Structure 1
Amino acid sequence: MDNPAGSATGTFDIILEGGPESLPTGVRRQRVHNLTDTVKICHYGGYEHFGRADGGSLVDGPILFRWFGRTRIAE
C-alpha cells in the first residue's frame, strides 16, 4: 500500500544500481526499515543519490533504486 507522503514503513529489501564502480557490493543490496523515494549513501567524501525506479509502487521482491547524482559533503 502506497503512502501519500511517498514513504512506507516496514522492512524492505532494496538494490542500488549504477553510480561509482567503487561502491561496495554489500552496500548495493540493503534491508531498510523505512522506504522513501530516494536513498543517500555516504561514499568517499560525498553522497551518492539513488531514486526509486518503480515509480513508487510496492512490489514483491527487492525494490530497485537507480543512481542519479553525487554531492560533496560540505566542510
Structure 2
Amino acid sequence: MRHSGDDGLVDVVLEGGPADLPPESRLVKAVKSDEKIKIEHHGGYEHFERVDGALAGNGDSITYRWTTRTRIAE
C-alpha cells in the first residue's frame, strides 16, 4: 500500500481472504478515499474492496472485504 505522508490516513480492518493471512496484516493504515487495497501474500496479492458505510466495531476504522487474489508477474 502506498501513502503520501500521514495526512488522511485511517485505520483499516481487512475481512475475509486466506485463513493464513496474519492478524497484523489485517490491521493497516490507508488513505481514507481508497476504494481498494492490495496486500502482498505468498507470491501474490490479496485484493480487498471498501464496504460502503461499514465501520469496524470500534467506529474508528473502515472495513474492507476480500474480493480476489492475483499472482505477482515475473
TM class by shorter chain equals: 0.7 to 0.9
TM-score between the two structures when normalised by the length of structure 2 = 0.77
| Among 34, 37, 40, the residue aligned to 1:39 | 37
Deviation at 1:30, TM superposition (A): 1.4
| Residue segments in structure 2 that go unaligned for 5+ positions in a row | 1-6
Off by >4 Å, runs of 4+ in structure 1: none
| Residue segments in structure 1 that go unaligned for 5+ positions in a row | 1-8
Aligned length: 63
Partner Cα distance (2:62, 2:16) in 1: 14
CA RMSD of aligned residues (A): 1.7
Report the counterpart of residue 48 of structure 1 in structure 2. 46
- Identity of matched residues, %: 49
Report the counterpart of residue 28 of structure 1 in structure 2. 26
TM-score between the two structures when normalised by the length of structure 1 = 0.76
